[in-house]
Structure formats: structure tokens, C-alpha cells
Amino acid sequence: MRKLKADRGIQGLIPAIVSSVVFLLILFIVGPQAAFNTLGGIVIFYALIFSFWSYYKSNNAHFLVSALYLITLGIFLILIDVPDKFGGPKPNFTTETKIALMFFYLFGLWLAYLTLRKKLKYRGREIMELAAWDVEEGPESYTERPRPAGETEYSKYDIIDFANYLKKILVCHPFIEQNRIVLVPVKMGDEFELLYKPDYDYLSKTWISFDFDGQVSVHISRKDYLDYKEDLAFDHLCESMGKLFITFADFYMRGDKVRILDRLNSVKLGIFS
């Protein structure tokens, strides 16, 4: 049974909505050719600010496939010769247009495969579900104070390597401090704030910290706590979150990284949740 409320956010649809509105406005004001050219430029711009930037921030190379898909789509939209009026001659497909269309289909199929495999999905909701699986309602009230959640015996550089791996598979984004590393789980839809807000306040979010002396602490934000359907036992929830990440660290250190993904996939959330 799901512990989180249903995800009804539309943040991921905003770029598509903006593109559609701009396309229709130019279509009716200027004409089809200008509308397609503008849409092609917007799509290429999206490749730069979304896909390439996401790759830069996460080091997840799968975002490059998304970028190439958008670029080939944009080039196709710019190259296609559309009639000035509806009902006119069919669009003229030049050799360059056909090549762009071929690569568009190729990268589109590749992107669909990666999407179905959840390679481009931020996994924060799975983290929150896994942490709450064995946690029942309880009398403890929510508090902003971080809670101790266990210990590890790994070195500073082992912990940093582990954090970079979680960043690469879109589980958490790490923030390195002087004496610890802070891991912030990122949900789908919440990545825009992480990617584009210059003064991103990560300490106000849900986070798991690994001190370089071995102490593990957990902070759960009020927003994430209220996203659960019930008032869960807060101490138990923090303890469970800490144990989950200690288990992930153990998997990583002994070379069983695939077990981390197995645990995440066991939640069976949708590809856009």
C-alpha cells in the first residue's frame, strides 16, 4: 500500500504547454512556416537549458540522448518546408529533412527505452516510500531537528564516491560540507528548483548526512512529511530513512550497486511519478 499521497504535479508539462501556446500564436498571427521555425528554435533551446544542464548537474549521460532527440526534432521543424496555407501542397522533404527525421526517430526510440527503464527519472518518491514501508502511525510529533540514524565505518572518499553514484542515478543530489556530505532526495517535479534556483536551500529539504567520522543523521522536511497520507511515527521514520541509506552504502561498497536499483524498482511507481 502506498504511504504517499498521489502525485498530481504538472511542473514537467509546463515547457510543453508554453511551446504549444507560442506555436499557436505565431501560427495564427504570422503563418505556418514561421510557427514551425519558432517551435524548432524553442525545442533546441530546451535541449540546452534542460537536457544538457541536467547532464552537467547530475553527470547522468542518458540526458545526452534526450538532448540529441530534442536537437534533431528542432532541426527537422526548422528544415521542413510547410505550405503557407492549410490545404496547400504537402510539405517538401529535402534530403537534409529526411536525415533529420531519421535521427529523430532513432533518438526517439532510444529515449523511449531509457524512459521505460527509468533512467531519466528522479527517484525521490521511491526513497520516501521505501523509508516509510514499515512505519506505522505514531504519537511522536514532527520536528525540524535532525535525528541521529546510525553509524558507518567508511572513509571520507568512499562516502563521496557513494554520493556521486547516487547523484548519477538520480536518487539524491549531494552537497559537500567541511565535515560531512548531505544527500538530498529529489522527486520528479522538484528537480527544477534544484537545477535552476541559485540560492537553493538544501538544508530546508529532506536530507541524509554522512559525517566523515561515521555518524549518520536524517532531516525530513515538513513538506515531505505532510506528503504522507498518515501521521507516521516520526522517530521511526527517521531511523528507517537512515538505515535505508546505510544499506545502500553497504551495497555500493561491496560492489552490489544493482541492489540499490532493485530496491528502488520494487516500489513500482510510474515513470513520471
Query: What pTM was computed for the model?
Result: 0.90
Q: What pLDDT sits at residue 141? A: 76
Between CA 67 and CA 202 the distance in angstroms is 27
Q: What percent of the chain has pLDDT over 70?
A: 96
The answer to whether the CB of 180 falls within 8 A of the CB of 163 is no
Q: What pLDDT sits at residue 137? A: 87
Residue 182, pLDDT > 80, answer yes
Residue 93, pLDDT > 80, answer no
Q: Give CA angle at 175 (169, 180), nearest 5°.
A: 115
Widest pairwise Cα distance in the chain: 72
The answer to whether the CB of 192 falls within 8 A of the CB of 11 is yes
Between CA 87 and CA 168 the distance in angstroms is 48
Residue 181, pLDDT > 60, answer yes
Between CA 61 and CA 119 the distance in angstroms is 10
Q: What pLDDT sits at residue 89? A: 57
pLDDT per position as a tens digit, 131-142: 999 888 877 778
Residue 179, pLDDT > 90, answer yes
209, β-bridge pairs: 182, 217
Q: What pLDDT sits at residue 53? A: 95
Residue 231, pLDDT > 60, answer yes
What beta strand segments (E) does the chain contain?
Answer: 147-151, 172-176, 180-185, 207-211, 215-219
